[in-house]
Amino acid sequence: MPPKKQAVVEKIRLGRPSNNLKMGIVGLPNVGKSSLFNVIAKCDLGKSANFPYATIEPEEARVPVPDDRFTWLVQQYKPKSEVPAFLTCIDIAGLTAGASTGAGLGNAFLSNVRSVDGIFQVVRAFDDAEVIHVEGDVNPIRDMEIISTELRLKDIDWIEKALDNSKKNARSAGNVSLEDKKRKEEVAIIEKILKYVQEDNKDIRKGDWNNNEVEVINNLQLLTAKPVIYLVNLSERDYVRKKNKWLPKIKQWIDENNPGDLLIPFSVALEERLLALGSPEAEAAELATLGDNITGALGKITKAGYDGLDLVRYFTAGPDEVRAWTFRKGLKAPEAAGIIHTDFQKKFVCGEVFGIDDIKEHASETGVKAAGKYKQIGREYKVQDGDICYWKHG
């Protein structure tokens, strides 16, 4: 007999198993967090001001995610309604040195960081005597060290408490049941997690964890398990000329401490000025005066946050509506259908699916069908980014 094929065990992701994920805007006070929130949300919810803790309660906004495919579908179907994909962004108050022990309302602010799924870390790299710096001068490397240290220290605090509880549960357990063994295994896992953060001085998201370890990490809701995108706030002049004395040092720090994390330069001063112009056409005209290939960074930032959370989208398209439906990579057809309505998942029959590239190539759904690209799929089909889906249910 041929050997049995081993079942493929899917890797569990770090983070909440949800399609409704959020990015938190994090950093020291007065680095441009609330100003970024205001321009990215095109509103004035974030309380930007030239003093620390202008923001206390977190503000929330849903930001459209740029997508040329969605724009193409709207032009193709000319629907009565169009609904793009959105990224939820949260403006979180500034953290300071000592936040992990409660300094500067640190406990409340770190709890707000805990409630989001990914981090936009805003780093100040512009000089402006009129905008005070909580540490007295501009030094992005020091600022990144402060944030990194405070997040790790808070994680250590939470892990140590979890370890104490886990050890108590393990002591009260015997060695008979599977539950008893599981409790003892949990102690070993938490000790491994603690060593990684405390002794190895590394962020959880950089570790190679198996599924059992990921389950424990996800239950702990650790800050350093969240994906981080570094947003470096430059003066308009430095952004336009693509030069700043701190950028190479910031890149080096990221490569040494959190290799693979994304760095995006932007200028909140420029973005505020563009927003005040009132229209995309006026913005484009103004950018053209600044030089060749100068663009705003907000679209890139939004898309990076969406991608960083492992979010993708499928589309429904017709004359009434073109809509993007956000989900986490790897979702099967019934669960993807359930995003529209829970009955679609409960009473799922099948789906009819074709790719955005198929309709672009063949110009219409009729052309897609004629080319044999229009397929019927069942429960095990994993919906792909850019699929156009129609669901059938009982």
Residue showing tokens 């193709």: 76
30 is an annotated ligand-binding site residue: yes
Q: Give the separation between CA 262 and CA 184, rounded to whole angstroms.
A: 38
33 is an annotated ligand-binding site residue: yes
Q: Give the separation between CA 28 and CA 26, rounded to whole angstroms.
A: 7
- Taking phi over 0 as left and psi of -120 to 50 as alpha, with beta for the rest, 316 belongs to beta
102 Cβ contact list (under 8 Å, min separation 6): none
Per-residue DSSP letter, 98: T
364 is an annotated ligand-binding site residue: no
34 is an annotated ligand-binding site residue: yes
Long-range CB contacts (within 8 A, 24+) of 335-339: 336/383, 336/389, 337/389, 337/391, 337/393, 339/19
With vertex at residue 89, the alpha carbon angle to CA 83 and CA 93, rounded to the nearest 5 degrees, is: 160
Copy the structure tokens of residue 37: 């929130």
CB 24 within 8 A of CB 92: yes
Q: Which letter, b or e, does each residue of 284-293 get, where b requires 16 or more Cβ atoms within 10 Å of its Cβ?
A: eeebeeeeee
Sheet holding 59-64, edge to edge: 59-64, 86-91, 22-26, 118-124, 228-233, 262-266
Can you say which residues are annotated as belonging to the binding site for ATP?
30-35, 234
Residue stretches of the annotated binding site: 30-35, 234
